[in-house]
Amino acid sequence: GESVGLHLPTLSVQEGDNSIINCAYSNSASDYFIWYKQESGKGPQFIIDIRSNMDKRQGQRVTVLLNKTVKHLSLQIAATQPGDSAVYFCAENLGGADGLTFGKGTHLIIQP
């Protein structure tokens, strides 16, 4: 079936730098996209979401960009901190009361 994928399994950035995590999705019918952060041994933590009628959404230190033309989703984290170290997953669904399809995950490593 169709699924959401990621470009890089590991991303290493210097503390204080900005990081960009990418995600490619294949289901053009997807209407709702979410980024989650997962720390070791814990459940996913909601970061930010975006609907298909938008191309950008900003939160605190995070921005999600959606490019429907190329089916690409990205998460930008500004001024990364040690606490940002985690695995980040994108997820998508059709916008209704459906379960989520998760991407493979990117392990973000913050170097001092």
Partner 1 sequence: GAVVSQHPSRVICKSGTSVKIECRSLDFQATTMFWYRQFPKQSLMLMATSNEGSKATYEQGVEKDKFLINHASLTLSTLTVTSAHPEDSSFYICSASRQGNTEAFFGQGTRLTVV
- Binding residues for partner 1 (CB under 8 A): 1, 32, 34, 36, 41-46, 49, 89, 93, 95-105
Q: Considering beta carbons, is residue 32 or 65 the nearer one to partner 1?
A: 32
With beta carbons less than 8 A apart as the criterion, state whether 5 and 72 touch: no
Separation of alpha carbons 30 and 8, rounded Å: 22
In angstroms, give the least distance from the CB of 97 to partner 1.
Answer: 5
Separation of alpha carbons 42 and 18, rounded Å: 25
DSSP secondary structure code for residue 38 in this structure = E
Q: Considering beta carbons, is residue 77 or 103 the nearer one to partner 1?
A: 103
CA torsion angle 11 106 96 50 (round to 10): -10
Q: Considering beta carbons, is residue 17 or 98 the nearer one to partner 1?
A: 98
In angstroms, give the least distance from the CB of 12 to partner 1.
Answer: 17
In angstroms, give the least distance from the CB of 79 to partner 1.
Answer: 23
Question: Which amino acid, one-letter code, is at 73?
Answer: L
In angstroms, give the least distance from the CB of 25 to partner 1.
Answer: 13
Q: Considering beta carbons, is residue 82 or 96 the nearer one to partner 1?
A: 96
